């Protein structure tokens, strides 16, 4: 194994762990029948400001971590064959 493989593998492992931890911290969206009957109305104060909540921040960090994971996985598959 080359140094590049070890470094990219370690970064990929850290990205995986971060995604797992962020997803485990998030709460489930339990709307079920309430949303079907009530229409899922988000015209409340909390509905309008939901981008500032803890859940919205965790969702944003999940997307960022998933993008980083995807980019590193792609880089590993593209870069490693050229290094050998």
- How many domains does the chain divide into? 1
The answer as to whether 44 is a domain residue is: no
**21: in domain:** yes
Per-residue pLDDT of the chain (84 residues; tens, 9 = 90+): 788 788 888 989 998 999 999 989 887 766 555 555 555 555 555 555 666 788 888 889 999 999 989 998 998 888 777 776
Domain of 17? Answer: 1-26+53-84
Closest CA to 23 of 63, 68, 78, 53: 63
The whole-angstrom separation of Cα 72 and Cα 84 is 18
User: Two tokens at 8?
Assistant: 């990219």
Q: Please say whether the beta carbons of 24 and 67 come within 8 A.
A: no
pTM of the model: 0.65
CA separation for the pair 84, 77 (Å, rounded): 12
Quote the pLDDT of residue 53: 81
């Amino acid at each position: 194994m080359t140094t590049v493989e070890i470094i990219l593998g370690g970064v990929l492992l850290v990205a995986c762990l971060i995604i797992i931890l962020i997803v485990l911290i998030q709460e489930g969206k339990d709307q079920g029948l309430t949303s079907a009957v009530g229409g899922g109305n988000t015209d409340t104060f909390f509905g309008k400001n939901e981008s500032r909540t803890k859940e919205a921040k965790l969702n944003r960090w999940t997307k960022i971590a998933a993008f980083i994971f995807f980019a590193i996985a792609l880089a590993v598959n593209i870069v490693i064959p050229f290094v050998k």
